[in-house]
Structure 1
Amino acid sequence: MDEINLLWHQLTDSETIIRSGLFVITCIVFAENGLFFAFFLPGDYLLFLTGVFGGTGVLKEPLTTILLSIFLAAVLGSLLGYLVGRFFGKSLQRRPDSLFFKKKHLDSTREFFEKYGFMALVISRFLPVVRTFTPILAGISHMTWYSFILLNIVGGAMWVGILVAGGYYMGQYFPWIINYVQYIIIFFLGITTFTLIKGYLKLRK
């Protein structure tokens, strides 16, 4: 049990992930964007804090390397989700609930997808959980390859560019911000929680 708790902490603690290096960060981003059982992994605040740690010099890679690595991880992760939905969508929809899969996430994402259409792929980049399931639903609905790839690239570029670059320059100009990592995480978690509760209540209504 202690080993499981330690693994869970390592997978969900952004500071631990970032200090593990850029390769680990990209693996987490890839999984969170495309694997339905990885929806719980950190997303928005992981990107922002990666930028902060890059700007303060904790991460040694230049900004362009950080941006490109995370962008590719996000785009390829979503592409994997799309392929899973396109080729295994029916079996996924029949899958029973488990610790790492909740059908309600698929249902709430479907409503979001129906509301915003193709642009859901761009907007959902900034919404946890929905971000993981939107490319899967795009595959299930057999969105054309051209439309998916275009919107996937646009959404990924906006998500990574805004959060990572924003965090990077915050770290450069306000290096003391690294001492308040926990408050940054709480801020993003507050936004995430509010978004999820609002979406859940709307879905129930």
Structure 2
Amino acid sequence: MEDFNWLQLLNPEFYILLEFGGIKIGLLVVLFIVFAETGLLAGFFLPGDSLLFLAGIYSESLMSQISLGNDFLNVTVFALLVTVMGILGNMAGYWFGARSGNYLYNQKDTFFFKKKYLYQSKEFFEKYGSRAIVFARFLPIVRTFAPVIAGIVSMDKKKFMFFNILGSFLWSFSMIFAGHYLHALFLDKFNIDLKHYIEYIVIGIVGFTTIPVLWKLFKKRVHLE
């Protein structure tokens, strides 16, 4: 840890390759981050989508200690573990929203909490209804507060769980399988190792997932002016 730089915390690869005492703990860290994004309301600065895509690329390393001896099974089990943590995180967010009521709307902004993100998520939830729980999984910031909003407005628990499970499943499997098999495809067909282009991949994914949110905010500001 002598060469540690705080900027590494913004790099998904840092979490994936993390070791403690010579033991790889990347898998545990990835699972914790997936839970924390919604369960601990810490999603606005954690590398969600890019983390899962890169985790798919590094899935062999992440699953090395509990390998099932089959590539497809390893990736599938890994995606299922991420799905479960995503579901639990959303459940924690929903519970917090149901318990807190309008408490969050009366809180001051901190580094870990921005009230504007709560309002943006509320607008998103009102626009898409129950489906927002699925869509939010693919949008930074919104996915952090969507389950909280669902709890605040007392969304039907059964309906919430259905969309929670569906959204977590689609998000986890699409991101992880895309990373894993695109890496294999590029390596096999073009002899290109995507691990050498991690920075570009992260920038591309962050841009792709945040542009819709930024565009919506831009249009809203223009409309108000």
| Partner AA of 1:58 in structure 2 | S
Aligned equivalents of 2:183 and 2:208: distance in 1? 21
Residue in 2 that maps onto 1:36: 41
| Partner AA of 1:77 in structure 2 | G
**Alpha-carbon deviation of 1:27?**
0.4
**Alpha-carbon deviation of 1:10?**
4.4
Aligned equivalents of 1:38 and 1:119: distance in 2? 19
* Worse-superposed segment, 144-153 or 171-180: 171-180
State the SS of the aligned residue for 1:183: helix
Aligned equivalents of 1:163 and 1:120: distance in 2? 19
6, 11, 14: which one pairs with 1:13? 11
Residue in 1 that maps onto 2:199: 182
Q: Confirm or deny that 1:24 pairs with 2:41.
A: no
Normalized against structure 1, the TM-score is what? 0.90
| Partner AA of 1:108 in structure 2 | Q
What is the alpha-carbon root mean square deviation over aligned residues?
Answer: 1.8
Q: Which runs of 5+ in 1 are unaligned?
A: none
Q: How many residues end up aligned between the 2 structures?
A: 199
**Alpha-carbon deviation of 1:145?**
0.9
Aligned equivalents of 1:38 and 1:90: distance in 2? 20
**Alpha-carbon deviation of 1:202?**
3.4
Larger Rg: 2
Is residue 17–residue 24 contact of structure 1 (8 Å, CA) maintained in 2? Answer: yes
Q: Which runs of 5+ in 2 are unaligned?
A: 19-25, 68-73, 188-192
More helix by share: 1
Q: Indicate how the Cα distance of structure 1 residues 111 and 96 shifts in structure 2: closer, same or farther if over 3 A, else same.
A: same
Is residue 71–residue 156 contact of structure 1 (8 Å, CA) maintained in 2? Answer: yes
| Partner AA of 1:197 in structure 2 | L
Is residue 139–residue 210 contact of structure 2 (8 Å, CA) maintained in 1? Answer: no
State the SS of the aligned residue for 1:40: coil
Listed one character per residue, the Cα deviations across residues 34-56 of structure 1 (whole Å, up to 9, x for unaligned) are: 322442101111111100112xx
155, 158, 161: which one pairs with 2:170? 158
Residue in 1 that maps onto 2:56: 51
Is residue 32–residue 42 contact of structure 1 (8 Å, CA) maintained in 2? Answer: no
Q: Indicate how the Cα distance of structure 1 residues 68 and 108 shifts in structure 2: closer, same or farther if over 3 A, else same.
A: same
Identity %: 42
Residue in 2 that maps onto 1:146: 158
Q: Which has the higher contact order (CA 8 A, sep 6+)?
A: 1
The within-5 A match list for 1:66-105 is: 66-105=78-117
Listed one character per residue, the Cα deviations across residues 126-181 of structure 1 (whole Å, up to 9, x for unaligned) are: 10000101000000000011011110000000001111111111222324111111
Aligned equivalents of 2:185 and 2:208: distance in 1? 24
